[in-house]
Amino acid sequence: MNQASFPPVDEQVALLERGAVDLIDTEQLREKLQRSIKTGTPLTVKTGFDPSAPDLHLGHSVLLRKMKHFQDLGHRVIFLIGSFTGMIGDPTGKKATRPQLDREEILTNQKTYERQVFKILDKETTVIDYNDRWLGKLGSDGLVKLAGRYTLARMMERDDFRKRFRDNQPISIHELLYPLLQGYDSIALQADVELGGTDQLVNLLVGRDLMKEQGMEPQVVLTVPLLVGLDGVEKMSKSTGNAIGLEEEPTEIFGKTMSIPDDLMWDWYLLLTDTPEDEIEEKRRQVAAGDLTAKAAKQQLARRLTARYHSDSDAQYALEEFERVFAQGGAPDDTATMAARPDEPLTKLLVRTKLATSNKEAHRLVTQGAVSIDGERASDPFAPLESRSAPYLIKVGKRRFVRLEVS
């Protein structure tokens, strides 16, 4: 087997530290990298994924991209699906106990996961593993033994547990076991590095402790920030509705990126693109100085992200479409065409074509001047459209369009 060769330590550390929140600790990482170069052995990098969230979004991609960095440097990246721990439910950051998943749900989710994950990770070299492989075998004796290595007091150092305890919120015993099992994963995989979101820090550190107890060299812990979502406030999550899914359409990825607050784009540049940091700084300076418009800077970002998950031409198209629709008020290419009769009042038309959800809303929209027909603002909610050969272009608000053929 050929010995792998790796870039110099400094170069590796620089890439790995980019965008990271915690690195515990840097010295140890350097040692591990040094040794890896000397022996030609890649580091084993572990990242755990909860199998309950199969719809990945850009927030998840921050972590996946960090994994990719390790991959690009030639290290061995393990994508660990918490098939066993998923049945328990990670208590991190939760005010209430999570629902437990059953085996079948987890299996379905795993497939969806793989399809999305390889949009970022290298399919050839990624090792996918499942922690029920060893946790299933652990048995109750093994589990009790494992639990014997940690104390309640140390567990209660965690903020989320402490708060729930103080507020008389229930904490199930199995939730206390979760960090221990996650730490045991690191032992089983002999991880050199474990990656996670910054909210995972405490869990990751438990892994370090357990490894030390086991007489192993503890893993290095590296965390990445939680990406702030479209609203510019909350962390990105599907349930908050401020997410961009990895599988969304080009125009959606583009448009949604354009809707983030201007200030947020620098974070996104750092965490979601490979743009060199000094280049990002330069852009930021230019925008501050007025040499570059925030819109242009954001469009570059949107283009890059769209191209990343689709193609260059898709991204270019999304950009042109955005300009056409929002800057010039035109209609997008894929505007649906529907048919209508000449005696149908406007409000009914809007409801039937799904441009409004109720007659009441349709009426309201017309009254507020949100509806235009062929570019002319409509004022009469009840006026029908006259029959003619060319279709009408109906626009509601800024981004809802329908072509209507009236005959």
Partner RNA sequence: GGAGGUGUGGCCGAGUGGUCAAAGGCAGCAGACUGUAAAUCUGCCGGGCAACGCCCUACGGUGGUUCAAAUCCAUCCACCUCCA
On whether the CB atoms of residues 63 and 94 are closer than 8 A, the answer is no
Residue 122 or 382 with smaller CB distance to RNA: 382
The helix/strand/coil state of 84 is: coil
Given the structure tokens 């903020």, which residue do they identify? Answer: 159
- The two tokens of residue 167 are 């507020």
- Which of 193, 151, 177 minimizes the C-alpha distance to 66? 193
- The two tokens of residue 83 are 């098939």
393 binds RNA (CB under 7 A): no
Residue 148 or 290 with smaller CB distance to RNA: 290
Residue 102 or 380 with smaller CB distance to RNA: 380
326 binds RNA (CB under 7 A): yes
Q: What is the separation of C-alpha 303 from the centre of its chain, rounded to a whole number of angstroms?
A: 17
In angstroms, give the least distance from the CB of 99 to RNA: 13
Cβ-proximal residues to 159 (8 Å cutoff; 6+ apart), any chain: none
Residue 122 or 262 with smaller CB distance to RNA: 262
294 binds RNA (CB under 7 A): yes
- 258-283: buried (b, 16+ CB within 10 Å) or exposed (e) per residue? bebeeebbbbbbbbbbeeeeeebeeb
- Which of 207, 245, 51, 216 minimizes the C-alpha distance to 129? 51
Rounded distance between C-alpha atoms, residue 305 and residue 315, angstroms: 8
Rounded distance between C-alpha atoms, residue 109 and residue 337, angstroms: 36
In angstroms, give the least distance from the CB of 151 to RNA: 24
92 binds RNA (CB under 7 A): no
Cβ-proximal residues to 328 (8 Å cutoff; 6+ apart), any chain: none
245 binds RNA (CB under 7 A): no
55 binds RNA (CB under 7 A): no
In angstroms, give the least distance from the CB of 171 to RNA: 11
Residues in 258-277 at the binding interface with RNA, rule: CB under 7 A: 258-262
Residue 209 or 361 with smaller CB distance to RNA: 361
250 binds RNA (CB under 7 A): no
Concatenated DSSP letters for 233-295? SSBP-TTTT---BTTS-HHHHHHHHHTS-GGGHHHHHHHHS---HHHHHHHHHHHHHTSS-HH
Residue 90 or 321 with smaller CB distance to RNA: 321
Among 39, 151, 293, 337, binds RNA (CB under 7 A): 293
Residue 129 or 252 with smaller CB distance to RNA: 252
Residue 148 or 170 with smaller CB distance to RNA: 170
Residues in 341-380 at the binding interface with RNA, rule: CB under 7 A: 345, 347, 351, 357-361, 363-365, 368-370
In angstroms, give the least distance from the CB of 393 to RNA: 14
In angstroms, give the least distance from the CB of 391 to RNA: 21
Pairing mode of beta strands 337-340, 376-377: unpaired
399 binds RNA (CB under 7 A): yes
Residues lying near RNA in the complex (CB under 7 A) are found at: 168-170, 231-232, 241, 251-252, 254-256, 258-262, 293-295, 298, 322, 326-327, 345, 347, 351, 357-361, 363-365, 368-370, 381-384, 396-400
